[in-house]
Chain A
Amino acid sequence: MNHRYFKQATMIAMLCALAITLNILETMYLGFLPLGIRIGFANIVALLAIYLFGIKELILINFLRVVLSNLLRGTLFGSMFWISFFGVLLSTISLIILKKNKNSLIFSSLISSIFHSLGQIIVVCFIYSSPYLVSIFPYLLIVSLIAGYFIGKISLLILTRIKPIIH
Chain B
Amino acid sequence: MENKEKKYLIIISIIAIVSLGLRIITHMFVKSKGEIVVTHQSVEVLRVDYTSNATYKIHGTVGILVLEVKDKKWRIVEADCPNHNCVNTGWVDQNLDIPIICLPNEVIVIYEP
Q: Is B8 an interface residue (CB 8 A)?
A: yes
Is A141 touching B20 in the complex (CB atoms < 8 A)? yes
Q: How many chain A residues touch B (Cβ–Cβ < 8 Å)?
A: 13
What 1/0 flags go to B40-71 for Cβ under 8 Å of A?
Answer: 00000000000000000000000000000000
Beyond A107-B9, A145-B12, A145-B13, whether A139 also contacts B20 by CB under 8 A is yes
- Give the residues from 129 to 160 in chain A that come closer than 8 angstroms, CB to CB, to chain B: 135, 137-139, 141-142, 145
Beyond A135-B23, A138-B23, whether A107 also contacts B16 by CB under 8 A is no
Q: Is A83 an interface residue (CB 8 A)?
A: no
Beyond A114-B12, A145-B12, A145-B13, whether A137 also contacts B19 by CB under 8 A is yes
Is B1 touching A104 in the complex (CB atoms < 8 A)? yes
Size class of the contact patch on chain B: 10 to 19
Q: Is A17 an interface residue (CB 8 A)?
A: no
Task: Among A106, A135, A138, point to the contact of B16 (Cβ < 8 A).
Answer: A138
Is A141 touching B16 in the complex (CB atoms < 8 A)? yes
Beyond A114-B12, A142-B16, A145-B13, whether A103 also contacts B23 by CB under 8 A is no
Question: Binding site of B, secondary structure by majority: helix, strand, loop or mixed?
Answer: helix
Residue of chain B at shortest CB distance from A110: B9
Is B19 touching A107 in the complex (CB atoms < 8 A)? no
Is A138 touching B20 in the complex (CB atoms < 8 A)? yes
Q: How far is the CA of A135 from the CA of B24 in the complex (A)?
A: 10
Residue of chain B at shortest CB distance from A136: B23
Q: How far is the CA of A114 from the CA of B16 in the complex (A)?
A: 10
Residue of chain A at shortest CB distance from B8: A107
Chain A neighbourhood of B16, CB < 8 A: 138, 141-142, 145
Is B20 touching A106 in the complex (CB atoms < 8 A)? no
Is A107 touching B5 in the complex (CB atoms < 8 A)? yes
What 1/0 flags go to B14-28 for Cβ under 8 Å of A?
Answer: 011101101100000
- A sample of 10 inter-chain contacts (CB < 8 A) reads A103-B5, A107-B9, A110-B9, A110-B12, A114-B12, A137-B19, A139-B23, A141-B16, A142-B16, A142-B20
**Which positions in A face B, CB cutoff 8 Å?**
103-104, 106-107, 110, 114, 135, 137-139, 141-142, 145
Q: Which 9 A-B pairs have the closest CB atoms?
A: A138-B20, A138-B19, A107-B5, A141-B16, A138-B23, A104-B1, A142-B16, A107-B1, A142-B20
